[in-house]
Structure 1
Amino acid sequence: MAALVVLAGCSEVNLLSYGAKTFAGDDAAKPAPVATNNTGVDRGTAKIGKPYQIDGIWYYPAEDLTYDETGIASWYGEPFHGRKTANGAVYDMNKMTAAHKTLPLPTDVRVTNLENGRSIVVTVNDRGPFAHSRIIDLSKRSAELLGIIQKGTAKVRVQVLDSDGNTTATANSQVVAKPVTPLNEKNNVTAAPRATITTDALAPPSNVKTATGPSVEPLPAPVAERPVQVVAVSTPATSTTIVSVEPVRNSEIFIQAGAFVDFSNANKLSARLSTMGPSKVSQVLVNGQDFYRVRVGPVYDIEQADQLLANLINAGHTGARIIIE
């Protein structure tokens, strides 16, 4: 685990070197959903790819138009600039791109920073990050616009866009992540339902500046003046990047160790995990089936969450993951 969280000029190692070697030869599949508001990006070849294994963990790429998940984002830059991605695109750290473990390539997604409300559209054209604790790896440019360059990581929501550039969620709705049972867990009922996050009124900045060039000053944090604002930021490729600032509220980080259809199993696991911190069992309905999810927390910073997740994995709970609520 320690090797997976080594910094790589940003937040951590993103194993993009796996991309050209492992994924480039995968069979092409039907094109992924494509939005039209992220121009100037090398989208590469449309593909989904076969299941693959990295460091003993299996990943199952699949098309999912309803993908809507919360978690921790990281970013990567100079070490991978100019290299081929998993679908043959050339990685440009100054473009609006990202790496994801299982979404089709390319797929446009909306990424919202749940710490400051900034939201942008990026194109997923590579595989990664392969640290257990991260759900998406952003390009340097994307991280700049979301305001996470200095910190290196952030709590985010990731939503797939359809061909019209829309998400499955209604505009201005609550930030609710869709519970999904992973493919490799369906037969042993250890599903991992998504987190639920609600929104509240936090107004955006009043003094946002327009910036040019590949490196921009991070946008100011939201202040209590106006409900929502959209900012146009010029890019070197003559296109315009839209950065919207949306209302968010304070969120908490939990580690989900598992979810069960049998309450007694969930309760037993919760009792065993109580030595690692506050643990609880909560009920959630997934596709008409009741699940009892076991979570430890809350924890109040990403470093603490990383350590708790590592402890759970080392204790044999390999399906544990960080969720934001």
Structure 2
Amino acid sequence: MLRSRGLFRGLAARAGVLAVATLALAACAETQFAAHTAKRVTGSADLPARGVYKVGKPYQIDGTWYYPKEEYDYREDGVASWYGADFHGKPTANGEVYDMNDLTAAHRTLPLPSVVRVTNLDNGRSLILRVNDRGPFAKNRIIDVSRRGAQLLGYEAKGTTRVRVEILPEESVALRDAMLGKGRGEGAVVTVSAPAAPAAAAPAVVVATPAPPPVMVQTAPPAPAPVVAATRPQAAVVGGAYVQAGAFSTMENARHLEFQLQDYGPTVIMPVQSGAATLYRVRIGPLADAGEAQRMLDRVRGAGYSDAVVVAD
């Protein structure tokens, strides 16, 4: 990492913080597939990190020049790695404190901080991360994520994976404007956090518009009429068994999964109230009997949706 080379020492300026948002990620206990983000406003006492907004000047590492810039249409495919205990508790390139259990990342040229979506191209998992550091500078890798990020994206043990990195322009610009608008003596921090890693493998993740965390139960409660994508025929839901592949706090993510499952049969999106939030459950069915449900489950899991389950209404 660049900070280990001393090029960003002195940038860890400490100042009063007005926090604008915290993105919180929670895994669904029923399917261990879905994830959501929640936004809250918090006082400076809640945030240990003190960061500033910066782009930075061109710099050289091992003979290669890098040119930081505001690039709000950035999208790139390449190899991701992750970094952990060796940097835990040390200052990042924009003056925050690195926590390997937060959902953050290091990038060679994007503004600090900015918000990106990282998709693991080997398993389809996707995660929103806050870029607050510089790196990586090895073997043409394009991003270095926190240890927690690597766990949720499913490649901690492997070490590296193929990813797609896309900046989220609206979130990144809003963060920039909020931080710069506070003047030279103030800053703002967006923190992305996740719960402790479960004993089982990390869940597949799709993250989108923030929403309150859903409360999930093992047996699905009665639901309103299903919502079906406009390009798909609507299945008659009269009870019976379903294969549920995911549950989401936003319709956008539910439709994304519904599109991925379109070759498996009639797919429905069933909304259900969970406290103050609406949860959108993506299901294949209804299926004729338990045998058909088991065959569909085996097929879906065999295609990589290992956390799919059979449910009945």
**TM-score per shorter chain, which class?**
0.3 to 0.5
- Which structure would you say has the larger RCO, counting Cα contacts within 8 Å and 6 or more residues apart? 2
Q: TM-score, normalised by structure 2?
A: 0.47
